[in-house]
Structure 1
Amino acid sequence: MLASSAPVRLPTMTEVLAVMVGFIGVMFMSINVLQLPIQLALFASWFIVIGLGLRLKINYESMQKGLIDGIHNGMEAVLVLTTVGALIGTWIAGGIVPSIIYYGLSVMNPQIFLFAAFIICALTSIATGTSFGTAGTAGVAMMGIGHSFGIPLPLVAGAVISGAYVGDKMSPLSDTTVMTASLCKVKLVDHIRSMMWVSAPAILIASVLFLVVGFFYLSDHADTSRTAMAMAALQDHFVISPWLLLPAVVVITLLTRRYPAIPVITLGAILGSVCAWWAQGIDPVQAIHIAYSGNAMHSDVEFLNTLLNRGGIESMLGVVALILFALGLGGLMERVGILKAISQSFLRWANNPGRLTISTMLGGFFGNFFGGAAYVSLITASTITEKNYDDQGIDRRVLSRNAEAGGTITTPMVPWTDGGVFMATTLGVSTLTYLPFLWYHMLVIVISIVYGFANIAIWRVPQAERTSAGVGPNAQADHEWQAS
């Protein structure tokens, strides 16, 4: 019998679980036992899903198309990743990041540093709408400042990433925020207002935690000798000037004005090369080459060598390969019907707002774990459970809020997602090391679940409006609901 382009049937939950166990087994053996690159593990996982597809009589050409479609949907993140790599390299070589670190060390109180890093990154991400751009600019500088204060880098990374994802989740300029509102058929403003119910207390509690922990690490008095040594080393190896802060101002301003991220970040990289030639005296050809190869410096201060010898498009090539394999895996799973099978299973279980919240968030995490990107997770989170929201008469603003909590928020928590790999590569701290300090992310998840079971901010659609809007098991929920 010839294989078809469509599955003869959906995979059973036993088959879905077998694929999951196979995926986890391949990842564990490859990384922990054989110590192979994670890219090879994800590539091998393709064939586990393809094997299930063949069992379901789906032809290979159809599965390959699903794979390519999955990669296509995440290509914008790949392009942003490469341009940010170029920007980091040239901004370090041009003295832009060293100047930010130097002036930050001179004015910032060590005891409130973690709190300040969280707030600075939150404001930057809200203004620009990009967690990648925030981590690659303000985040890198915060890592240098925090390390010079003697604060553990995973903790600093936790504050940086927590702040960066405030805007990624909340900013009207963020692609994930706009995408979620569109997928859930909710007005963008209503989507953001709904998220504020969860994000406002999460931001407040996270701020207090970072402030308290900062005082805990530096409770009596901070040893400023390391800070002075770092500032002296920066002056020895770079020309430090307030004028070198202008490229950062230009990039953030343009992103705030909603200019496209890729050309704006590329412009920032060009300005970094100009600064490397004009201010730091680097050969102009070499200043341009740094955009690809990254910065290289030698200092007597070891942490500066670690922090500032990075960047360049070349440093992101392994990350790009990893993301492509992860996106392809997500496309395969969608094509084979694994996501739809899980959706039907959730429909039977999620019979109250608390369970519905958990199922939506699990759908998002599943998209990140197997699809490797926030885009995939938002699709799985919204499509797997949207029918249940309509059937239970729950406003779709609750769906969009929970989709962000399970999708966007969990992206940097998985080591092989675009967000997880980018943050680990850019900040120089592994995903599993910074994971315990993603306090904003954890608070959003916990508060969302509490709201679901406590019926807080779980708005209902009146039966009359549901009927007039045609909401039901077979209807599109495209009506603009009002809060009850």
Structure 2
Amino acid sequence: MEKKKASLALSSLAIVLIVAFIAVGIGVFNVNIAILLFLCWMIMWPFAAHLGYSFSEMEGFAYEMAQKCIAPAAIILAVGMMIASFMAAGTVPTILVAGLKLITPKFFLALTFVMCCIMSVIMGTSWGTLGTVGIAMMGVGAGLGVNPAITAGAVVSGAWFGDKMSPMSDSTIMCSTITETYIMDHIKAMMQTTIPAAVVSLVIYLGIGIGISGDSYEASTVDSIMNGLKGMFHINLIPVIPIVVVIVMILMKKGTIVSMMSGTVVAILIAVFYQGYSVADMGTFLYSGFTCETKNEILISLLNRGGMTSMLSLLAVFVGGLGLGGILDKTGMLEPIFHYITEKYKSPRGIMLMAWCATLLCILVIADNNFAFVMVATLFGSAFQKYNLKSQNLSRILEDVGTLGSALVPWNVGAQFAAGVLGVSTLAYMPYAFLNWMTPILSLAFIILQVKIKKIEE
């Protein structure tokens, strides 16, 4: 059957229906995002049929794109096992005890943000940071009586700082590569928007900390948590070894999976030979998640985490979101919108503004920000050259909006992962993830005012 090209009206209608369906499903009926994404395949069926595509072809488009989730799926399953092993080895409990001893409510949020920034820059991954320091700081915050949503916001801001700025981050490498930008030029360009936003975020976290210090802090609760942890685990430097192994392996550029699994293996050995768990226990923990034998409800909420099964719902989001992206891409449903944008706005400011909006549109419609990177870079790369705009302007927009903004979209895989690991919904932590929404706003301001814009020399 002869294939038709989608019109602007048809494309716009499809996008509006998808966004409205997801928004109503989540906001009104509280339906799981994975279910909504799979149902969006059916929403696309009549549109694809109108363009001459059969349902089997549409399925093929979805499966082809969904295959790309194999690598990230392996990572999130590895993170699930790592979290469970770090709990059993006493790694996270040791950090909890140290944090409760040393950190006061006044400086807790600021320190959480800084620690997650440092860890994410070193590791080059927001997910690894969430699964290690992030979980530990959530526990410390609970002990100090800090609102979990605020703590999660600080963790997410810090975790995504390094995901954006680290030269080892996959998003940093990808955005610099697809825009043909030297990676250090890319990082320098990002610093102009990210560093000011990070400084302001730090000041805000300090201000919030001063305002909440002592509000709900109860020494008896902290003592109960610390005594409970000390009664369950050997608390000293030995349980910290697994996280050191992960950091060292990443610094040696051994890859995310290898680094995490190396830390997991070391944690298993410590859990079995030092903390006293059996091999059978560890097998259960790695698959189903760590469970502690205690009647202390606070400790149960802090420690019962991780395992491969805890990540299965996220895998469903991966497949559903990427499958939808494949259908939209292969049927050409997004092309009329981008063509309209590039034809209508014919100035450096206009092209940059539309690249910003296009990146936002992509992360809102598709659950994976890598799709946004490829789509926007492909469609706007030549336009930036036409108006003598250096490629780092485009790569910065991709990261400012695509990388940081993705953590604020409830159905994005990154936001889903953060919500699942930290135990706080995206909508709850969103107002407090200051870096993630201030950076895109600052990026937009730079575009409108045309400041910090690199031009190709005539």
- The normalised TM-score by structure 1 is 0.90
**Other-structure match for 2:356:** 361
In structure 1, which of residues 259, 262, 287 is the aligned counterpart of residue 282 of structure 2?
Answer: 287
Once the two structures are superposed, residues 315-355 of structure 1 have per-residue CA deviations (whole angstroms, 9 ceiling, x without a partner) of 11111111111111111111111222221121134344444
Residues 359 and 341 from structure 1, CA distance in 2 versus in 1: closer, same or farther, beyond 3 angstroms? same
**Other-structure match for 1:93:** 88
C-alpha separation in 1, matches of 2:16 and 2:69: 25
C-alpha separation in 1, matches of 2:137 and 2:236: 18
1:180 and 2:175 matched: yes
The one-letter code of the counterpart of 1:310 is R
Deviation at 1:22, TM superposition (A): 2.3
1:8 and 2:4 matched: yes
**Other-structure match for 1:21:** 16
Q: Residues 359 and 373 of structure 2 are in contact (CA less than 8 Å); yes or no, is this contact kept in structure 1?
A: yes
1:162 and 2:160 matched: no
**Other-structure match for 2:202:** 207
Task: Report matched runs for 1:127-146 at 5 Å.
Answer: 127-146=122-141
Once the two structures are superposed, residues 263-319 of structure 1 have per-residue CA deviations (whole angstroms, 9 ceiling, x without a partner) of 221222222222221222112121122111101124344232112111100111111
C-alpha separation in 2, matches of 1:151 and 1:137: 19
Task: Report matched runs for 1:425-436 at 5 Å.
Answer: 425-436=420-431
Task: Report matched runs for 1:60-139 at 5 Å.
Answer: 60-139=55-134
Once the two structures are superposed, residues 250-269 of structure 1 have per-residue CA deviations (whole angstroms, 9 ceiling, x without a partner) of 11111122111112212222
**Other-structure match for 1:231:** 226
Query: What SS is found at the alignment partner of 1:410?
Result: helix
Once the two structures are superposed, residues 373-392 of structure 1 have per-residue CA deviations (whole angstroms, 9 ceiling, x without a partner) of 12112123323332331222
Deviation at 1:208, TM superposition (A): 0.9
Query: What SS is found at the alignment partner of 1:461?
Result: coil
The one-letter code of the counterpart of 2:7 is T
Deviation at 1:29, TM superposition (A): 5.1
The one-letter code of the counterpart of 2:323 is G
Deviation at 1:34, TM superposition (A): 5.1
C-alpha separation in 2, matches of 1:285 and 1:181: 45
C-alpha separation in 1, matches of 2:35 and 2:155: 30
Once the two structures are superposed, residues 196-253 of structure 1 have per-residue CA deviations (whole angstroms, 9 ceiling, x without a partner) of 1111111111111111111111178954332222111211222222211011111111
Q: Residues 297 and 309 of structure 1 are in contact (CA less than 8 Å); yes or no, is this contact kept in structure 2?
A: yes
C-alpha separation in 2, matches of 1:234 and 1:357: 52
Gaps of 5+ in 2: none
Gaps of 5+ in 1: 464-484
Deviation at 1:427, TM superposition (A): 0.4
The one-letter code of the counterpart of 2:271 is A
Quote the sequence identity (%). Answer: 28
In structure 1, which of residues 258, 264, 271 is the aligned counterpart of residue 266 of structure 2?
Answer: 271
Q: Which has the higher contact order (CA 8 A, sep 6+)?
A: 2
Once the two structures are superposed, residues 427-455 of structure 1 have per-residue CA deviations (whole angstroms, 9 ceiling, x without a partner) of 00001111111101112111111111111
Query: What SS is found at the alignment partner of 2:334?
Result: helix
| Superposition RMSD in Å | 1.9
Task: Report matched runs for 1:334-483 at 5 Å.
Answer: 334-463=329-458
Deviation at 1:60, TM superposition (A): 4.1
In structure 1, which of residues 252, 260, 273 is the aligned counterpart of residue 255 of structure 2?
Answer: 260
Deviation at 1:35, TM superposition (A): 4.8
Query: What SS is found at the alignment partner of 1:415?
Result: coil
Counting matched residue pairs gives 458
**Other-structure match for 1:474:** none
Q: Residues 354 and 451 of structure 1 are in contact (CA less than 8 Å); yes or no, is this contact kept in structure 2?
A: no
Deviation at 1:50, TM superposition (A): 3.0
**Other-structure match for 2:314:** 319
Q: Residues 294 and 314 of structure 1 are in contact (CA less than 8 Å); yes or no, is this contact kept in structure 2?
A: yes
C-alpha separation in 1, matches of 2:111 and 2:190: 23
In structure 2, which of residues 142, 148, 159 is the aligned counterpart of residue 147 of structure 1?
Answer: 142
Q: Residues 353 and 448 of structure 2 are in contact (CA less than 8 Å); yes or no, is this contact kept in structure 1?
A: no
**Other-structure match for 1:480:** none
C-alpha separation in 2, matches of 1:152 and 1:94: 27
Q: Residues 92 and 132 of structure 2 are in contact (CA less than 8 Å); yes or no, is this contact kept in structure 1?
A: yes
Deviation at 1:24, TM superposition (A): 3.1
Residue range with higher mean Cα deviation, 129-138 or 453-462: 453-462
Q: Residues 19 and 365 of structure 2 are in contact (CA less than 8 Å); yes or no, is this contact kept in structure 1?
A: no
C-alpha separation in 1, matches of 2:69 and 2:243: 27
Deviation at 1:33, TM superposition (A): 5.2
Deviation at 1:58, TM superposition (A): 2.7
Q: Residues 49 and 336 of structure 1 are in contact (CA less than 8 Å); yes or no, is this contact kept in structure 2?
A: no
Residues 220 and 435 from structure 1, CA distance in 2 versus in 1: closer, same or farther, beyond 3 angstroms? closer
Query: What SS is found at the alignment partner of 2:306?
Result: coil
Q: Residues 319 and 422 of structure 1 are in contact (CA less than 8 Å); yes or no, is this contact kept in structure 2?
A: yes
Deviation at 1:364, TM superposition (A): 2.0
Residues 410 and 74 from structure 1, CA distance in 2 versus in 1: closer, same or farther, beyond 3 angstroms? farther
